[in-house]
Structure 1
Amino acid sequence: MKLKLILICLIGTLFSMQAQTSVKPTILENTGIISGKITDKKTNEPLPYVNIVVKENNKVITGEITSDKGTFQIKNLALKDYIVEIQFMGYKTITKAISLTNDAKNANLNTIAIEEDAIELKGVNIIAEPSTIEQKIDRKVINVGKDLTTAGATASEIMNNIPSVNVDQDGKLSLRGNENVRVLVDGRPSNIEASQLLKQIPSTSIKKIELITNPSAKYNPEGMSGIINIVLHKNANDGFNASINTGLTFAQTPKISNSLNMNYRTGKVNFFSTYGNNFGKNFNEGNISRLDDNSNQMFDIVNDNKSHLFKIGMDYYINDKNTISAYTNQNIFVGNGIVDVNIVNPNTSQNLLLNSKYFSDNTDGTYNVAFKHLTKKEGETLDLEINHSIYSENQDASFLTTFNNPNIPSSSYNDNLGDKRQNSTVNLDYVNPLNDKTNLELGAESRIIRTENNYMTNNSSLSNSDYSYDLDIYSAYATFGQKFKKIGYQLGARFESYKVNAMLNGVTAYKDDYFTVYPSASMTYSPTEKNQFQISLSRRVDRPSLDQTKPIREFSTPRITSIGNPELDPQFTTSIELNYTKTIAKGSFSTGLFIRSIYNEINRILYPDPQNQDQQIMSFDNFDNNTAYGFEASLNYKINSWWDIQPAIDFSSINQNGLVSVLNSTTNTFDLVSKEVTASAFNARFNSNFKATKNLRFLLFGFYRSGVDGVQFNGKEMYKIDTGGRYSFLKDKATLSVRFNDIFNTMKAGFDGQNPYPQVGQFTWESQSLYLGFNYIFGAGKNKNLQRKQRDNNTKQDGGGLF
């Protein structure tokens, strides 16, 4: 009931503010007006959406974009001298000096014809040579350049090149040393597990990657370490435009990746689409040695995967103030996995081989409709967005165990996993700049999530199950910020009602219902234009995922089985960050510190199977309060005209609590014992780009990750060196890229542990590989730099934001 009252009051506030701002402001007698019309010099046609920027003493005072007829009118200007810049992508910038006085309050620039810039390449989405890193007020933005797209064929392969981000050999993602990170695509969540999703997105389909490590209250609070938002290419250029990318990775066997980005714009309608695919076999090998009985497990894993990614949509520009957009993202994945586990003992009669085969196919569809309204008041916006996603997976698995002892017959069984998930979201966002220094943001959201998981098996020792995990989340937020000459601040709070209901075979397995407030605060201080400090605070939550809660096997080998825990509670985190960014003559430097206080931490547990002491069960549980801290630093520096570097380091430390199984020598059974460790991780990256000629560039990349102590296992250090080059031709419309990853084949995931048994192990994958890529772009359109497109950027001043 409380939430309903909040939503009613919020919606009432939105409409009352809308009504208040509909009154036209009075133009004072001592203010002036600048007006005019912009046309194409070659065709004489009017150009809509051209940027008109008004500057005073080299500082931007205000601005406007031209209408559909190419006209503009900027009012309420003080009677002073100004510089007016006319900016439009693909055209030369025009500068005009204007003087507004009591005798000449209205400056009519009449018709200004602008011409195409011959230096600018006509066409679509020109990918820059080196990637660039922008430190914005609430996020770090990595604009993906050709150096990153040549790092690998998929998003998973390029993530390790990004500061503070790590991907392990299983594809699991972590940010600042923590795996509790929320991954979004185009600002929207996906039903696909992040490690699998990243392997399905071609690297050439990515426009930029945003790291939001301490989000404000307007963002959904999931993810202890923050949000990673992957923004795919979307064109809005006139006419028909396209870019084609194809890549071939040579490792144990060749792998193919392709992508195609297209758009067609005519008049007020823009159609856009993206298609990408990945095909090929992936090989992993590993071994785990138990030191107590001198046995050895050897793993041979082959995954033959095929994935397709589609993005199709359209924008309809109703007029200068209203835009409606619709798109769909479709992921199709088919995978065949073969896992051979060979257990070798000193007594050869105890040897056995488990052959497991997994046949999986899944589809994930996201459907999005959005409406944006710009009021007559500059900067005031109202956004309505409806998003619905459907995920379906089916996995058939077969297990065959053969024994070296001829007296023991082989055994086999089959099982099937069916998984269905639906996520429906409706959110409303309102932004009102109360004055030139003050900004108010309000919003409300409804999320309904339904999941079904069915497990069937013909193994008599296992049971069929039907598991569901349903969430109802209703929230509202408000943020208020002010920006002065050198100091700015923002305060916010998100109010959320959360209900969860888990059912196992028709019986309630877990149920919770609570109302929570997630506050946020941030402050920036810029003593000069080249120096900025920022401090921020937020409260966040990590809710158990379906895979963490479902009491059904995630995977199974002769000695270890992974299952979920339906009784997991949410984990809450309070984070404080301090960041500093400095712009220098040839680049920029940024650094940051963070401290986290964690309540009800979710962590892994490992214990012997009560029915078989030689079998281990891996699951999850909640633990007491915890703390974490860390720092990061990165530099973007251009040494000279032909050499630029981007070194980066990050360090994180967390006190982890967990349960380990310790053998009781008296009873010869295992006792669960609490264990606490300090898990500290250090990462270093060094990216260097060399410009040999105008068209030829080379790159060198180095990576180091320190060893990390854990509750269950201690990880060993990892490091590698990559090198590559790229050549542009056909007037920069075509690019040929090559990259040799892990030159010395040093990337290996080694570990050791003492509980429940002393053991050491190592896993390897196809880290050493050769990638060849080709890119070609064509089209003759000019980009329409629309205000509406700010929604895609998900920047802090926008109304839409990430949910």
Structure 2
Amino acid sequence: MKKITLLVFCLFTINFLSAQSPSDVESISITGKVVDSNTNQPLEYATIVLKNTKTKKVTGGITDEKGLFSIKTPKGNYEISVEFISFKSTKLPTQTLTENKNFGTIKLVEDSSSLDEVVIIAEKSTVQIRLDKRIYNVGKDMTVKGGNASDVLDNVPSVDVDVEGNISLRGSENVRILIDGKPSALVGLSGDALKQLPAEAIERVEVITSPSARYDAEGTAGILNIILRKGKVTGFNGSLNLNAGNPDQFQISPNINYRTKKYNFFTNLGYSYRKGPGSSFTELEAYFNGTLQNTRTEEREFERKNSGFNGNFGLEYYLTKNSSITGTFFIRDSDNGSTSTNNINVLDAINNTNTSDIRIQDEDESDKTKQYSLNYTNNINEKGQKLTLDFQYSDSEETESAIINDASGIENNLTTEKSKNTLLQADYVLPIGEKSQFEAGYRGDFQDLTSDFIVTPTLSPDPSNNLVFNQKVNAFYTQYGTKFDKISLLLGLRAEITDVKVRLLNTNENFDYNYKELFPTINIGYEQTEDRSYTLGYSRRLRRPRFWYLNPFESRSSQNVIFKGNAGLTPTFTNSFDLGFLQKLGKFTINSSIYYQHSTDVISRVSRDEIRPVGPGGENEIVTIREPINLASEDRYGFEFTANYNPSKKLRFSGSFNLFQIETNGNYLYQKYELDNFGNVVTTPEVQNLDNSNGSWFARFNSMVSLPGKIQWQTRLFYRGANKTAQSDTKGIFSTNLAFSKDILKDKGSLVLNVSDVFNSRKRQSTSYNPSIDNPTSINNQEFQWRVRQISLNFTYRFNQKKKMEKPGGENNDGGGEEFGG
């Protein structure tokens, strides 16, 4: 309770300090909507410029994805203009504003003279705040040039990507990843497919920590929604991105768009090849009856080769001025290879070598995915009434073969996973008056998956298995949003009906799970002044066990480390609360929040030890078994702080800090393995208490500096604090990225030199105690490095595009006009 009180104190201390700014000038609000005069399509990021004729001060804002704007400004006499790329600017009559005013729908006309050289905005607002989410625009982030989607996510506040590529939000890995608001084959069966998606294909990332009812209830930590680039300007335009680096890396990513009055064709392509050397060191101390018996060391070197092609093709056809149909086709074809050389030594209690071995594992993996999507959008009227229908079908297949060669002989592994996914979705929006709206919708998400794992020659126990996984989720939602005075309110309720069938064909075991659940959501916004606002969110979420967690058969990363699933896992349910605060102080912007989550039946990975015959001689050795189980409960609470400071056009600084505390409660029932006085293995039931209290944190700092010669210099620093569970300790990790950018070819081209992990320090160092720190049967010390320092040179060429700085008033727009999220 003391820690929660401290977090609340931190938040309101910031509020108190911010409140010491000069008294607020009486302000009024102007609203409206900006659309294309030909198609009536809303224009996102159109700029509204307000110039006070007396003070000459320029303010303004930008439109949201619905073309809406809402800007607060002091009373006064203003010159007002509305601008958008490749459209003629519209100037409204100079007028005196003394009260709130709605300008209605403003129609912009295309500027045909601009088609020879289309203008794009390259520096959008870094952060935008909506009622139920925060939006981070990729913009000019140079440190992700030549990278992939994982690199982009690793640069987003609140998000962390560890050395193995696991993505977490506010310290929790249970985060739902969407592409353009929907589950997508771009994420892949295991999530590794994000490493194949070029960073240049991503426009922005939405961090949704308090999702409204229109979103899936999946993901107890929240949702990361990746929005891909789509051309919005008339004519033929695009860009070509080339990247080369050391260790070996090559990537080419063309983005092409052609838009007319009737249709819009857009595509994102990417081919990449890279080598990823890495290494790990493991020291496993085995204790029999409390006495050190032996120590096993493994020094492993990885040589990885990854090559892959991604293609995303889309065609939007405007049926009428108010409706359109969009079809997209996505294809991914990747081939990955890896050679792992593992030097193994087993030492006795006084460090004399008993045995030595070299274990070589050659792996080849192919991943082929096709996805078809169809969207129908009908903007029924200018008041905002809207109907959208979506259909999506994907077919994925991953095949992995491995040859393992050690002193025991040669072992062949073959894994084949096939998945067919179908998505049906309908959403309807009905405005009620000028400041309220009602929404309702349906989503059906259906997955059929098979996983076949074959090991030859047959081992004992035989790890070969064949799993059939079928999951159907039918969801219905409704929500109501309204705004009165300075308060915005969004209330929603989602119902999800889940039907899961698991079939283990090798053992003829069947597991069926059926549950119906309600998921209420509440989001409240209070805009105290133009520069200060609060948000409060509540949502109920769940985590469904994925198929690889339900598969009880064993897979091995080494002779002595085995992972197996648990077919008896049940879903985790979480109640989340989030209180946010936003304050602007001139060129300084603060965004902070405190959050609390209570979860039941928490899915957690645990470890235990068994004694098995290992190696060519069949000697008894400790073997670590890792598996997921349900623990009783978990309480997670924390404080998050993000700040942006732009003292001048040549200097930009931003930083974020996340401090969280996790309290876990639960017991682990397992079979304890011991040796009796005659050297025989005996087992007894054991209950291990896994209650644990863990506090950790991570922080980022970014700077953008303009050097002489129009060279841009960006630095990114990141630190993740130490972490502790009931069975392990993990040390902190520090990393640094540097990037230098120079525009060439009359601003049509850009060169970026990027150094990732400058000090080669991105390594995970951990110690595991099985089954617990207090009474271990084994202690495992490990150091792991997924990839080494990377140096790359990136070249981007834009055709029929020209870089341009953000329009006045758009640089620090953190609110937009979207009252009810989206």
TM-score with structure 1 length normalisation? 0.83
Alignment-derived partner of residue 439 in structure 1: 437
Task: Give matches, 1:579-618, under 5 Å.
Answer: 579-609=580-610, 611-612=612-613, 613-618=621-626
The alignment partner of 1:137 has SS state of coil
Contact 1:54-1:82 within 8 A present in 2 as well: no
The alignment partner of 1:601 has SS state of strand
Alignment-derived partner of residue 257 in structure 1: 251
CA 64–520 in structure 1, closer or farther in 2 if over 3 Å, else same: closer
Decide which moves more: 481-490 or 152-161.
152-161
| Deviation sequence 1:687-740 (CA, Å, 0-9, x none) | 011012473211122111111002332111110222221001223211100122
1:122 has 2:117 as partner: yes
Distance, in Å, in 2 between the alignment partners of 1:399 and 1:37 is 61
What letter matches 1:374 in structure 2? Answer: N
1:391 has 2:396 as partner: yes
- State the Cα distance separating 1:391 from its structure 2 match: 1.0
1:699 has 2:714 as partner: yes
| Deviation sequence 1:582-619 (CA, Å, 0-9, x none) | 12211421001110000100011212246445222211
Contact 1:327-1:369 within 8 A present in 2 as well: yes
Contact 2:595-2:638 within 8 A present in 1 as well: yes
1:364 has 2:369 as partner: yes
Task: Give matches, 1:725-764, under 5 Å.
Answer: 725-755=740-770, 756-764=777-785
1:777 has 2:813 as partner: no
Alignment-derived partner of residue 616 in structure 2: none
What letter matches 1:259 in structure 2? Answer: S
- State the Cα distance separating 1:796 from its structure 2 match: 11
Distance, in Å, in 2 between the alignment partners of 1:800 and 1:485 is 18
Decide which moves more: 705-714 or 603-612.
603-612
Distance, in Å, in 2 between the alignment partners of 1:602 and 1:618 is 13
Contact 1:380-1:431 within 8 A present in 2 as well: yes
Decide which moves more: 516-525 or 685-694.
685-694
1:354 has 2:362 as partner: no
Distance, in Å, in 1 between the alignment partners of 2:520 and 2:579 is 17
Distance, in Å, in 2 between the alignment partners of 1:63 and 1:677 is 47
CA 64–465 in structure 1, closer or farther in 2 if over 3 Å, else same: closer
What letter matches 1:395 in structure 2? Answer: E
Alignment-derived partner of residue 158 in structure 2: 164
Task: Give matches, 1:626-705, under 5 Å.
Answer: 626-656=634-664, 657=666, 659=668, 671-693=686-708, 695-705=710-720
- State the Cα distance separating 1:668 from its structure 2 match: 6.8
- Unpaired segments of 5 or more residues in structure 1? 1-33, 40-45, 66-80, 101-106, 403-409, 784-794
Decide which moves more: 464-473 or 431-440.
464-473
CA 112–294 in structure 1, closer or farther in 2 if over 3 Å, else same: closer
What letter matches 1:481 in structure 2? Answer: G
| Deviation sequence 1:338-383 (CA, Å, 0-9, x none) | 2222221235342222211211101122211010111135100011
Give 2:274's match in structure 1, choosing from 277, 280, 284: 280
What letter matches 2:222 in structure 1? Answer: G
- Name the count of aligned residue pairs: 721
Distance, in Å, in 2 between the alignment partners of 1:324 and 1:486 is 37
RMSD of aligned Cα (Å): 3.7
1:766 has 2:787 as partner: yes
CA 454–664 in structure 1, closer or farther in 2 if over 3 Å, else same: closer
Give 1:420's match in structure 2, choosing from 415, 418, 422: 418
Task: Give matches, 1:515-594, under 5 Å.
Answer: 515-594=516-595
Contact 2:346-2:356 within 8 A present in 1 as well: yes
- Unpaired segments of 5 or more residues in structure 2? 1-31, 53-58, 66-76, 97-102, 286-291, 614-620, 771-776, 805-815
Task: Give matches, 1:168-317, under 5 Å.
Answer: 168-191=162-185, 192-193=188-189, 195-250=191-246, 253-291=247-285, 292=292, 293-317=294-318
The alignment partner of 2:690 has SS state of strand
1:153 has 2:158 as partner: no
CA 434–677 in structure 1, closer or farther in 2 if over 3 Å, else same: same
- State the Cα distance separating 1:319 from its structure 2 match: 1.4
What letter matches 1:637 in structure 2? Answer: Y
CA 371–715 in structure 1, closer or farther in 2 if over 3 Å, else same: same
Contact 1:124-1:778 within 8 A present in 2 as well: no
Alignment-derived partner of residue 773 in structure 2: none
Contact 1:354-1:558 within 8 A present in 2 as well: no
1:143 has 2:137 as partner: yes
Sequence identity percentage: 25
The alignment partner of 2:172 has SS state of coil
Distance, in Å, in 2 between the alignment partners of 1:518 and 1:38 is 38
What letter matches 1:417 in structure 2? Answer: T
Alignment-derived partner of residue 504 in structure 1: 504
Decide which moves more: 548-557 or 201-210.
548-557
| Deviation sequence 1:177-204 (CA, Å, 0-9, x none) | 0000111122222341454122111112
What letter matches 1:569 in structure 2? Answer: T
- State the Cα distance separating 1:268 from its structure 2 match: 0.2
| Deviation sequence 1:64-108 (CA, Å, 0-9, x none) | 99xxxxxxxxxxxxxxx99874433234633132899xxxxxx9x
- State the Cα distance separating 1:662 from its structure 2 match: 6.8
What letter matches 1:558 in structure 2? Answer: Q
Distance, in Å, in 1 between the alignment partners of 2:35 and 2:540 is 49
- State the Cα distance separating 1:137 from its structure 2 match: 1.8
